[in-house]
Amino acid sequence: MKKIMITGALGQIGSELVNKMRTVYGNENVIATDIRDNGSDVTQNGPFEIVDVTDAKAMFDTAKKYQVDTMIHLAALLSATAEAKPLLAWNLNMGGLVNALEVARELNTQFFTPSSIGAFGPTTPKDQTPQDTIQRPTTMYGVNKVAGELLCDYYYQKFGVDTRGLRFPGLISYVTPPGGGTTDYAVEIYYEAIKNKTYTSYINKGTYMDMMYMPDALNAIIDLMEADASQLKHRNSFNVTAMSFEPDEIAAEIKKHIPEFTMNYDVDPVRQKIADSWPNSIDASSAIEEWGFKAEYDLSKMTVDMLEKLKLKVNA
């Protein structure tokens, strides 16, 4: 039986992964942790503990108390916030990660942490970016992600910790909005389309980035963690993607359902610079070959679902 501890459980991925994993593995077997208690279902329908990931002892004590056999480490700052507060990002993203890896080493648990398309940089091949390629990111977030991938591989090679990771693209969901990311526009656009029928994009026309709908991201985490270790040639981290689009393309897709929808541009130079340093599209063939990665949602299927679910949420 799995006993899973999740850090950053109230964040963009965590708030949905906790519920998904509780459905799969049982409510009592998924220990949600975060730095705050927001009174949401995640904190109510199973074990929940306040844990600051920069406090190594608190993290270890909680993992030990529940005798966890799997650590899912999600607590981190996203790219735009990390660019605004680089030292805080280094301390939180790297300090939290090494503390979580130490728990995994000491308690001999399986380990997952997300990497990102942000682990690539301007000198990386931009189209169909391969699994193994140049990684010289120019953002603090990217530096954290590359260092994190290397550290996770190190813990596997040096200590035998079963570390696994995914390079996520922008994640889109109607549940918990992201905060401080560069790809957030692709979530905001749906909210604004429903509320105001117009959106001003801070990412410029023609800027392609990979994206994925949250249900596919959650399945990918579970499938990777369940995968037979002997099949994995890579570990930290696998390229995964479901679609690549630029702002005009997502706007056109929304227009099919809300014909009055209009979009303007007011480009934010900071986030645009980050987006320009990332790939246009990444190649997920290693994930497909080694553990059977698949994504169910493309742009049109995701848009139908997002608009339907968000309408209910916004009007509620």
Catalytic residue set:
141
The whole-angstrom separation of Cα 64 and Cα 118 is: 33
46 or 170: whose CB is closer to ligand SER?
Answer: 170
Q: How many residues bind ligand SER (CB under 6 A)?
A: 11
Is 183 among the residues that bind ligand SER (CB under 6 A)? yes
Residue nearest to ligand SER (CB): 181
10 Å Cβ neighbour count for 42? 24
Task: Count CB neighbours of 78 within 10 A.
Answer: 21
CA distance 304 to 306: 6
The answer to whether the CB of 147 falls within 8 A of the CB of 96 is no
Span 255-284, contacts to ligand SER by CB under 6 A = none
When asked if residue 78 is in the footprint of ligand SER (CB under 6 A), the reply is yes
Nearest approach in angstroms of CB 117 to ligand SER is 6
- Paired sense of beta strands 48-50 and 110-116, if any: unpaired
Q: Residue 134 Cβ, how far from ligand SER at the closest point, in Å?
A: 18
CB 290 within 8 A of CB 238: yes
Q: Is residue 62 involved in binding ligand SER (CB under 6 A)?
A: no
CB neighbourhood size of 14 (10 A): 21
Kindly state whether residue 70 participates in binding ligand SER, applying the rule CB under 6 A. no
Tokens of 269: 């130079």
**Closest CB to ligand SER among residues 43, 173:** 173
148 binds ligand SER (CB under 6 A): no
> Which residues contact ligand SER (rule: CB under 6 A)?
78-79, 116-118, 141, 168, 170, 181-183
